[in-house]
Amino acid sequence: MEKLGKTKWWSVDNDVNNLIEDDSIVEAAQLLQQNEVVAFPTETVYGLGGNAYSDEAINKIFAAKGRPTDNPLIIHIYSQEQLNEIVASVPKVAKQLIETFWPGPLTLILPKGKQVSERATAGLKTVAVRMPNHPVALAILERANIPIAAPSANRSGKPSPTTAKHVIADLNDKIAGVVDGGRTGIGVESTVVQIDGENVTILRPGGITREQIETIIGKCHVHESVLTDIHSPQSPGMKYTHYAPLAPLYVVYGNEHRLHEWIAKERAKGHRVGILTTTENVNAYKADRVLACGSRSELSTVAEQLYATLRQFDRENVDVIISESFPKEGIGVAIMNRLEKAATKMIV
């Protein structure tokens, strides 16, 4: 264990047997039981965990992240018994989804059980819950043996962390510790679905695709907030503060030609221009910094590297980032959702 100021850092090997006996896991779990907040890897991004039954722990999560208190948290569990503790009921359709996708990147919104802190659910009568598919996360949950609220372990508004270093860059001295289990696999957050009786609605696209869900349960709805209107580009109301790098981000729909135009325009203003592209096109642009984010032929690699690439631009001193867009298919729906939310403007 290392100590960086007030924040502890444990490195763990994801592959060791019996992780729940590992000293680092034991210590991290103890801190969670004492209502401290600890960051750990999941298969999506790093989460900042806190006891879901404790207002004190939940307050610490909101304070460390600078997160608005009306934005509810996802509760992480490792067993069926814990699910029954934190929800009031599990409709049949939820059971089907759980059987297929847990542990995994699918969050269900279900009627809330009594014990869960109302601060964690922002006063709602529902609770968001998932079982993560990562050996370190599961070991910590089992060892602590309490449901753990865990939003992404970044300062609110910034790109989510996919390494322990990203966590420290944002939260050093603000949290009790971080468990380093290496780079996360999927790279974008879980899919969030609302369960209303037997109706299923996607509130946030993520690691599990709509197609995967529909294979199991038939038709599922998509909330209108997910279907961003790309036909009102450059509107001043489009100032999101989610997943955002320091420099303004322009997402360009359409071909390379359009990107070249915008590079020229920005350079004429004397701006240092960064380009977010993929391995296929990395030599196609003349700009101040060109970063490849995965490969277009395998969109899961773009998801894996998206947040790390946005964070890399923060270190490159660019005045503007111009990004290619991606097909809204499969995991591409989640990638474009995050890029659109991070963008200062969209260029059609």
Which residues contact Mg ion by CB under 5 A?
152
CB of 98 to ligand AMP, least distance (A): 17
Both tokens of residue 246? 């320091």
CB of 156 to ligand AMP, least distance (A): 8
**Cα distance between residue 133 and residue 290, in whole Å:** 33
Residue 338 lies near ligand AMP (rule: CB under 6 A):
no
Stretch that binds ligand AMP, among 65-73, 76-84, 87-95, 138-146 (CB under 6 A): 65-73
| Strand-by-strand arrangement of the 74-76 sheet | 2-4, 7-11, 177-180, 38-41, 46-51, 148-149, 74-76, 126-130, 106-111, 191-196, 199-204, 221-222
Nearer to ligand AMP, 252 or 333 (CB): 333
**Cα distance between residue 306 and residue 325, in whole Å:** 12
Residue 192 binds which one of ligand AMP, Mg ion, none, with CB within 5 to 8 A depending on kind? ligand AMP
Given 71, 235, 283, 317, the residue binding ligand AMP (CB under 6 A): 71
Given 49, 105, 151, 205, the residue binding ligand AMP (CB under 6 A): 151
The answer to whether residues 139 and 79 touch, using CB atoms and an 8 Å cutoff, is no
CB of 110 to ligand AMP, least distance (A): 9
Which amino acid type is present at position 135?
Answer: P
Q: What are phi and psi of 294, to 5 degrees?
A: 70, -165
Given 49, 50, 72, 181, the residue binding ligand AMP (CB under 6 A): 72
**Cα distance between residue 323 and residue 197, in whole Å:** 40
Q: By CB under 6 A, what part of segment 120-139 binds ligand AMP? A: 121, 124, 126-128
Residue ranges binding ligand AMP (CB under 6 A): 71-74, 109, 121, 124, 126-128, 151-152, 189, 192, 203-204
